[in-house]
Amino acid sequence: MKTASKLEKILSQGHFVVSGEVGPPKHANAEEIIEHTVMLKDYVDALNLTDNQTAIVRLSSIAAGVHVLQAGGEPIIQMTTRDRNRIALQSDLLGAYSLGIKNVLCLSGDHQSFGNHPAAKNVYDVDSLQLIKIVKDLRDEKRFSCGEELKSNEPRFFIGAAANPFADPFEFRVIRLEKKINAGADFIQTQAIFDMDRFERFMAMVRERDLHKKAHIIAGVMPIKSARAARYMQKSVAGMIVPEAIINRIEQASDPKAEGVAICVEQIKHLKTIEGVAGVHIMAVMWEDIIPTIVREAGLYPRPQL
């Protein structure tokens, strides 16, 4: 064990993990975060807290992570390199760890042009791979990115990274994943999977390179409420592939929500059979209360107790 992370412990014991996601609110009250944590903590092993996702200002992921922690959950704070330079990133890593957070997911973040502050200046002093290396060097080399030694109490994060098998160039995606693992990623959460064939091809390349033995690969799924939502993701969300067959199924269903859950459960059951997939990350955006149903129906309840 590299860290005191519960997520690392569950993964290292070989359990098929389940993580969920909570988007912090656009205000300064944590009630929703606490409610979601209480509702989900027995159904997921960890909860991601997004970092100003789609570049819209929200309650900070670190603060949200502390609320999750206090409500009995295991937070994974997302950290993007869009808004902070290497000084602020390292400072926030020290601060987050001092508050009890043990997991961080390193991202470049959505471009500010998608959000509600398109006139903002982006930072991108470092990219997501370089951030992974920064977090790893703080932990394992006990030094800051400038090379200066961190004399004591280094932050010991369990380091996460994202992989998107649906972005291009496809054949480079596994190589970039390997770069992330070499930089220090301990676990990977993928973009939401709808095109299972492409994901299978991706995982075959992952296994060829033994990457699933070097990092825990958690597959992303996303339950869809309606055909319109599916269509929106197909057309308007960057880096996603939503096959027509999935949209047709939801369109033709008498109860689209139930069909969305059924598809998600089928996907999870299938993902469980793919060698090298260490768990699922359920991104139920604006539909967090469906997670318990999905986890139960996928046969992933109860969760392992530590």
Partner 1 sequence: MIIAESKPLAEIAALIKNARKILLVGCGGCVSVCLAGGEKETGILASELRMLRQVEGNPLETIEVTLTRQCDPEYVEMLANHLTEDIDCIVSLACGVGVQFLAERYQKWVVPALNTKFAGGTVEHGVWEERCGLCGECILYKTGGICPIIRCSKSILNGPCGGSQNGKCEINPDTPCAWQLIYDRLQALDKLDLLLELEPLKDWSQSRDGGPRKVVREDVKLD
182 interacts with partner 1 by CB under 8 A: yes
Q: Which of 183, 247, 250, 264 binds partner 1 (CB under 8 A)?
A: 183
Interface mask toward partner 1 for 48-67; x: CB under 8 A:
--------------------
Q: How far is the CB of 127 from partner 1 (least distance, A)?
A: 4
From the list 8-16, 163-171, 202-210, 287-295, the region that binds partner 1 by CB under 8 A is 163-171
Binding-site residue total for partner 1 (CB under 8 A)? 34
Taking the complex as a whole, the smallest distance from the CB of residue 169 to partner 1 amounts, in Å, to 5
- Does position 238 bind partner 1 by CB under 8 A? yes
Site string for partner 1, 85-124 (x = CB under 8 A): -x---------------------x-xx-xx-------x-x
Instruction: For the CB of residue 220, give the shortest distance to partner 1 in the complex, in Å.
Output: 11
SS3 readout for the chain: CCCCCHHHHHHHCCCCEEEEEECCCCCCCCHHHHHHHHHHCCCCCEEEECCCHHHCCCCCHHHHHHHHHHCCCCEEEEEECCCCCHHHHHHHHHHHHHCCCCEEEEECCCCHHHCCCCCCCCCCCCCHHHHHHHHHHHHHHCECCCCCECCCCCCCCEEEEEECCCCCCHHHHHHHHHHHHHHCCCEEEEEECCCHHHHHHHHHHHHHCCHHHCCEEEEEECCCCCHHHHHHHHHHCCCCCCCHHHHHHHHHCCCHHHHHHHHHHHHHHHHHHCCCEEEEEECCCCCHHHHHHHHHHCCCCCCCCC
Residue number, 124 or 301, with CB nearest to partner 1 = 124
Amino acid residing at 228: R
Among 169, 197, 286, 302, binds partner 1 (CB under 8 A): 169
Q: Does 144 bind partner 1 (CB under 8 A)?
A: no
- Binding of partner 1 by 136 (CB under 8 A): no
175 binds partner 1 (CB under 8 A): yes
Binding site for partner 1 (CB under 8 A): 82, 86, 108, 110-111, 113-114, 122, 124-130, 133-134, 145, 162-164, 166-169, 172, 175-176, 179, 182-183, 191, 238-239
